[in-house]
Structure 1
Amino acid sequence: MFISKRATVAAIASLMALALSTGTIWAQTATAWSKKAALDAPDTTEQLYEAAKKEGKVVLYSMSSRSKDVKASFEKQYPGVTVEAYDMRNTEIFEKIERENAAGIKNADVIFVKDSDGTMANDFYARGVVHSYVPKDIGVKVANEFKRPGFAIYLEMKLVFYNTEVYDKDPIDSWWDLTRPEWKGKIMLTNPQAAIETLGLFCSFVQNSAEMAADYKREFGQDIKLSPGIANAGYEFIKRLAANDLIITSSDQEVVDAIGAAGQKNPPIGIATSSKIRDKS
């Protein structure tokens, strides 16, 4: 796999616990209004299109820059309906929704965000600020567990990336490999204090501490010995990982760019979101 058209980078997924985040679609509305508006009614695409033409536009709040592509393709497929797309960060979308709701404004028709920290599900959805809208045409193809709260249209994972100009096979096969001395000062990841997805990965280590302990035994041939004051193997892994001189970055893009740079003899490896695989060439 290639990153940034400069060097090959591959992603390891096997034998590793994965933290998942979702890209989720919401429709903004209060619960009572959503029932009155019959948002969950079994309307056909044609019926929805005719109703949309009467309104003239649909407002989209999106955390993806691909909202511009959505606007172009939607307006081409459904002439007479304009897409007013806002490309914002997740936090900006949450702040905008909160301010508008406090002012009694219902501006967004569709909200596309990552709900990694549960803000949409546990706050906005629970308060009736947003409604979980499931498109009829693709809803039938998605398992019910991904329809409420929020319609999850994709899942992301945290993977380990490496440069295949240097490594012709996976350089690690366990999370615990990242605690070995040979990787000291060579592991990159986004700051967990700033990136909720990285923090979520760390939480998954703790939540799956039994699996982490079992993997340690497979890797080293003995039961793990926890440090004083450490509750389980998940916390122990985080402690040892942090002690291995991590290279902290401000974004996943920094991680894959540094790993994928061509001509390196001793490149780092790093943890980044699976969507970065789409940068391959």
Structure 2
Amino acid sequence: MRRTRKLIPVALMALAVAACAPSTGAGVTPETKAAEPLPGPSLDANFSLDALVAAAKKEGSLVVYDSSGDIEEVAKAFTAKYGIAMEGVKSDTPQTAEKMTREHAADNVTIDAAMYEDGGVLVGQLIPQGVARTWVPADLKDQIPAENHSPLLALSKATIFAYNTRLSPGGCPVKNVWDLTEPEWSGKLVMQDPLGKPTVLSFFTQLDAHGNQALEQAYQAKYGKALETRERSAAYEWIKRISGNKPVLTGSDEDISGAIGAPSATDKKIGFMSISKFRNNEDKGYAQSACEGMQPFVGFSYPKYVAIAAKSRHPNAAKLYVHFIMTEEGVRHEIGEGGVSGNGTVKPLVTPPGLSDWKSQLFHTDPKGLLGDLQNRQTVSDFWRLNHG
């Protein structure tokens, strides 16, 4: 059974980031680490999958943390295939980062591997500080594009603008992201609180890094004039207007999905939610679709990385898990409602309604900007808090 997520308080998120500094590394910051090269992925020179399976079976078990409840299905499939007891634990990314850092410092590691939606914390803190490491299966190396190696990209998911097809049979009632800043949509955008959702904060910082031109063009298309702003960029102007237009903030995508697509919904709203919630169309009779044609994007894609705890007590089982999640057999449980594997030979399994072209319809995370996401997170958090408050 998939459990709904709980909102991470702002203080906890801040604690998670702060806690990632090791006890012996006082004064270490993302900025000071920026000049140091990120440790590259490790590969086993004489890799043998059979030998890895045998070694993993001797270790007997492993624990993997993930922000998605889908990890429970992955665990069942892994155990069924290899006869190794795997526990999949659903945990928000900031909590996972904090727990792994504390376990590493105490030499009492219980988490063997983790799936990370927060690439900034992974490349800016956990890997440089030796808490986690990337391992690439040698037999899959050529199937995984080089840009996905460090850190190892397991899959990409997406958060999209969605609407109720029963209430709006003619299509999505918003055609442009700037529409959502208008008074008529005040209080009608439902989304997770960015202060508790690292992927949304990273979306904001990535927008500022390489999405301003698209936002300016969308503004011109809607209003017939160039955007004028006193903010630092078009991205910050859009964030300001969105945050000030009374969005309804929730603690879970499940809550967003219910508000948008449930059979009992009577008010037209727009949801900014994970594509994984399209499962509710079949499971619960919801009427949801992505806002196809929305300019300049329907939503954003975000990476989910996989890393092994540096002091894992079951290192071979952890490696075997990484190998498993990088194959269709393993990742299918994570991309069953939509998503793209980091293995280029694995084709998408499902196309969510309204999202027919993953590449062109979405705003995409630039993996080269992950460290910048971490460095600029507090700035964009404060900006959101100021304008939403």
TM-score normalised by structure 1 residue count: 0.76
Whether contact under 8 Å (1:206, 1:234) holds in the other structure is: yes
Equivalence for 1:49: 53
Amino acid at match of 1:49: V
Q: CA deviation at 1:163?
A: 0.3
Amino acid at match of 2:195: Q
The 3-state SS of whatever aligns with 2:156 is strand
Equivalence for 1:222: 225
Which structure 2 segments of 5+ residues have no match?
1-38, 283-389
> Could you give the per-residue CA deviations for residues 27-84 of structure 1, whole angstroms, max 9, x where no partner exists?
xxxxxxx99xx853341221211122232233323333233323322222213x3324
Q: CA deviation at 1:175?
A: 0.8
Equivalence for 2:96: 93
Equivalence for 2:238: 237
Q: CA deviation at 1:177?
A: 1.4
| Distance in 1 separating the partners of 2:196 and 2:250 | 10
> Could you give the per-residue CA deviations for residues 97-140 of structure 1, whole angstroms, max 9, x where no partner exists?
11111112344332223225x11221110122211022345443
| Distance in 2 separating the partners of 1:85 and 1:243 | 38
Q: CA deviation at 1:184?
A: 2.0
Equivalence for 2:44: 40
Whether contact under 8 Å (1:115, 1:121) holds in the other structure is: no
Amino acid at match of 1:47: A
The runs of 4+ residues in structure 1 deviating greater than 6 Å are none
Which structure 1 segments of 5+ residues have no match?
1-33
Amino acid at match of 1:183: W
* Structure having the larger proportion of residues in strand: 1
CA shift in 2, pair 1:233/1:89, >3 Å = closer
Percent of paired sites with the same residue: 29
Alignment length, in residue pairs?
Answer: 241
TM-score normalised by structure 2 residue count: 0.56
| Distance in 2 separating the partners of 1:200 and 1:272 | 15
1:65 to 58, 62, 69: 69
| Distance in 1 separating the partners of 2:91 and 2:245 | 35
Q: CA deviation at 1:279?
A: 3.2
Whether contact under 8 Å (1:134, 1:147) holds in the other structure is: yes
Pairing 1:131–2:133 present: yes
| Distance in 2 separating the partners of 1:74 and 1:121 | 27
The structure number with the bigger radius of gyration is 1
Equivalence for 2:147: 145
Higher relative contact order (CA 8 A, sep 6+): 1
| Distance in 1 separating the partners of 2:124 and 2:137 | 22
Whether contact under 8 Å (1:178, 1:187) holds in the other structure is: yes
CA shift in 2, pair 1:40/1:122, >3 Å = farther
Whether contact under 8 Å (1:159, 1:273) holds in the other structure is: yes
Amino acid at match of 2:128: A
Pairing 1:76–2:84 present: no
Pairing 1:112–2:87 present: no
Whether contact under 8 Å (1:158, 1:201) holds in the other structure is: no
| Distance in 2 separating the partners of 1:155 and 1:138 | 18
* Structure having the larger proportion of residues in helix: 2
